[in-house]
Amino acid sequence: MTVARLHGHRAKRLYVLDFGLFDVRNGERIIGIAGYLVETDRGGRVLIDTGFPTAYATDPGIADRDGLPRFGRLIDHSPHQTAEGQLAVLGLTPADIDLVVLSHGHIDHVGSLPLFTCPVVMTARERADPAPSYFGTARPMAWPDTDYHLIDADTDLCDGLTLIPTPGHTAGHLSALVTLPDTGPVILAVDALNRISEPAERFADSADPVTSQISADRLFALQRETGAMLIYGHEPSQWPELSKAPAFYG
């Protein structure tokens, strides 16, 4: 399914996928790792982010070799909490996904991208990196050889699903606005707003803190304008409160 073939679809359900827990810098904070699945009224399925590489759930030595301990450690990442495992909760496989949206190239978002053969939607700026940014100077993964749809402005994938470039955390970061029949609008900030305290901390984890503030201000303004529920990228206090698949927001 191409991006164009989603025209005429309407967002119907939003699933929050649980890709496990991560201990940032060995005790700084414990964060949940999320992906999102949007289902449309015509049976379309859009996956937003893919979590860590599947192999990390079965062979921690691979994560060690990739240099993950410099950033932190996985403390809850079973095969059930991989992209494949979370799709299986819904009776799905990677082959059932029509589009993958990649918010940015960091390890916990891009790691399982090679599992998917459908088109990938992301910003042209993020894809311009020779390899996914992963974390720090680590570049253990190449961009998969697949069909990329590159955007550089707000883009409606279908009625009720709008992608919003929010640079700062990375140069080509992407957020989304999902508008659902009953829940109403939901902002998936991803790492444009990593956690509630990030603006007060002046976006210290961002590649470009000044641009991050501009992107965050835009999302906060959108929240005020629409009354949207805002889901932060990795807010420890919010993570336990989110309904996880197979539950959904509709």
Strands (E), the chain: 11-24, 29-40, 45-48, 72-76, 99-101, 120-123, 148-151, 155-158, 161-165, 174-180, 184-190, 229-232
Strands 45-48 and 99-101: what pairing?
parallel
Residue-wise DSSP of 147-170: -EEEESS-EEEEBTEEEEE-TTSS
Per-residue pLDDT at 136: 79
Strands 155-158 and 184-190: what pairing?
unpaired
Which phi and psi (to 5°) does residue 239 adopt?
-55, -50
Q: What is the pTM of this model?
A: 0.96
pLDDT in tens, the chain (250 residues): 556 669 899 999 999 999 999 999 888 999 999 999 999 999 999 999 999 999 999 998 998 888 888 889 998 889 999 999 999 999 999 999 999 999 999 999 999 999 999 999 999 999 999 999 988 788 889 999 999 999 999 999 999 999 999 999 999 999 999 999 999 999 999 999 999 999 999 999 899 999 999 999 999 999 999 999 999 999 999 999 999 999 999 9
Residue 77, phi-psi category: left (phi > 0), alpha (psi -120 to 50), beta (remainder): beta
126: its two tokens: 């993020």
How far is the C-alpha of 100 from the C-alpha of 118, rounded, in Å? Answer: 7
Are 153 and 165 in contact by the 8 Å Cβ rule? The answer is: yes
45-50-51-57 Cα dihedral, nearest 10 degrees: 90
Amino acid at 166: T
What residue spans of 10-82 are helical by DSSP H? 60-65
Per-residue pLDDT at 2: 53
Q: For residue 197, count other CB atoms closer than 10 A to its CB.
A: 12
Per-residue pLDDT at 4: 64
SS3 content of the chain, % helix, strand, coil (to 5): 25, 30, 40
How far is the C-alpha of 61 from the C-alpha of 38, rounded, in Å? Answer: 33
